[in-house]
Amino acid sequence: MSVFGVDYAWGRPGPAALKEAGAKFVCRYLSHDTSGKNLTRAEADQLSRAGLWLVVVWETTARRALSGRAGGAADARDAAEQAADCGMPDDRPIYFAVDFDASASQQAAVNAYLDGAASVIGRDRVGLYGGYGPVKRALDAGKARWAWQTYAWSGGKWDKRAHIQQYSNDHKINGVSVDYDRAMKDDYGQWRVDVSPAGDDTPGYVSVGLTAEQVLAPGAWTTIRWDKEYADSGHQHRDAGGPSLLNGPARYAVTASVRLRGVPAGTRVQARLIEVDADDTARYDIGPVQDFRASGGDTFVLYGVPADTVNAGHRVRFQVVQHGDAEAAVTAGSAKLLYWRR
């Protein structure tokens, strides 16, 4: 799952046009520029009131990150002051731009620059904007906590640790030139005036699948074991596979679908969620049960719950039962879950 956003410099598309285009966040500049490039408090207020998230990047010149530790410290002081003036909470990161094809031989200078920034705002607030090489090297070295990678100078490679991807340039929204971005993590450094992300504004996302056939005994509730992970930035589903979709406490919404083989037409089929005790999985609470009728041949079951809550120490699992007389099989399936931490 990714979240669509844009970045721009001197133009201002306006909140209405941004929202109409589907943008959920906006990346904006901090710098020494005085010609209108920078984010202002008035703009931050306007975007925040409209429900858009903000991300900030510091850039004076493309190669400024080669100025070493002293340059990084000086830039971080100015960036932090400007960000605070715009209403950014002091726990949010600032991305520092490496806006050129930086080589491996230049990484020592870039790392020193990031060290300088960390000496002022703390390592946990230091982010890097750049191509694949400097992003990977900075993350590998632990010099940046956050990464915004551009497709430029990346040769088609994406570092999976990057929080934001700038994947396409030179688009127009309301006549203003913008670049397209996508947030790849639940928390990508976003904020609104005096607000850090929390709760309802930052849902987590799980997408898993079933690829190995699973036996469906008659009359017995069978817990589906998911063996394919498509998305799980919050690590709710184990990479090695397993039955649990979510660990509590959280609010959540879920859809799950499975394909059954060998269930005679007209046979009653049911699906449900259960919330098992993590310490004793034989103990569980039963969620909504939904009924279906087998169609013969392949039967497709589509189950959905728009809102529910799982408590601390419990895990959400999905179960199916077929009330026929003979063994059947689950041959494929998938589940998608949104959750909000309590």
Residue 305 above 60 pLDDT?
yes
What's the pLDDT band for 2 if we cut at 50, 70, 90?
confident
Q: How many CA atoms lie within 13 A of 83 on its CB side?
A: 30
Kindly give, in sequence order, each residue whose CB lies less than 8 Å from that of residue 127, ignoring residues fewer than 6 positions away: 57, 93, 94, 95, 96, 144, 145, 146, 147, 148, 163, 189
Show Cβ contacts of residue 145 under 8 Å, excluding neighbours closer than 6 positions.
93, 123, 124, 125, 126, 127
Domain of residue 165, CATH code: 3.20.20.80
Query: What is the rounded CA–CA span in Å between residue 114 and residue 126?
Result: 7
Q: Do 184 and 226 share a structural domain?
A: no
Q: Are 101 and 249 members of one domain?
A: no
Question: Which among 170, 199, 228 is the end of a domain?
Answer: 199
Ramachandran quadrant class, 170 (left: phi over 0; alpha: psi -120 to 50; beta: rest):
left
Rounded Cα distance between 336 and 83, Å, is 36
Rounded Cα–Cα distance for residues 61 and 199 (Å): 37
217 and 120 in a common domain: no
Of the candidates 181, 199, 217, which is a domain's last residue?
199
State the Cα–Cα distance between residues 198 and 186, nearest whole angstrom: 10
Same domain (yes/no): 40, 124: yes
Q: Residue 187's CB: how many other CB atoms inside 10 A?
A: 17
CB atoms within 10 A of CB 38: 19
Task: Tell me what pLDDT residue 198 has.
Answer: 65
CATH number of the domain that residue 326 is part of: 2.60.120.40
First and final C-alpha spacing in the chain: 21
- Rounded Cα distance, 127 and 193, in Å: 20
Domain stop point among 173, 199, 225: 199
Structure tokens at 43: 């703009």
Whether the predicted pLDDT of 202 surpasses 70: no
Mean of pLDDT values over 129-142? 98
Residue 231 has pLDDT above 60, yes or no: yes
* pLDDT tens track for 54-102: 999 999 999 999 999 999 999 999 999 999 999 999 999 999 999 999 9
Give residue 172's pLDDT: 97
Instruction: State both tokens at 289.
Output: 């049960």
User: Same domain for 179 and 244?
Assistant: no
pLDDT (tens digit, 9 = 90+) per residue, 243-300? 999 988 888 999 999 999 999 999 999 999 999 998 999 999 999 999 999 998 899 9
29: pLDDT strictly greater than 70: yes
With pLDDT > 70 as the criterion, what percentage of the chain qualifies? Answer: 96
CA-wise closest residue to 53 among 30, 31, 79, 27: 27
How does residue 44 score in pLDDT terms, banded at 50, 70 and 90? very high
Are 191 and 269 in a shared domain?
no
pLDDT higher than 80, residue 342 = no
| Mean pLDDT (the chain, rounded) | 94
pLDDT at 234: 72
Q: Are residues 14 and 150 in the same domain?
A: yes
Confidence band of 239 (pLDDT split at 50, 70, 90): low
Task: Tell me the residue range of the domain where 128 lies.
Answer: 3-199
- Tokens 């705002």 identify what position? 121
For residue 78 the two structure tokens come to: 């100015």
Average pLDDT (193-205) is 76
Burial class of residue 75, CB neighbours in 10 A (0-12, 13-18, 19+):
buried
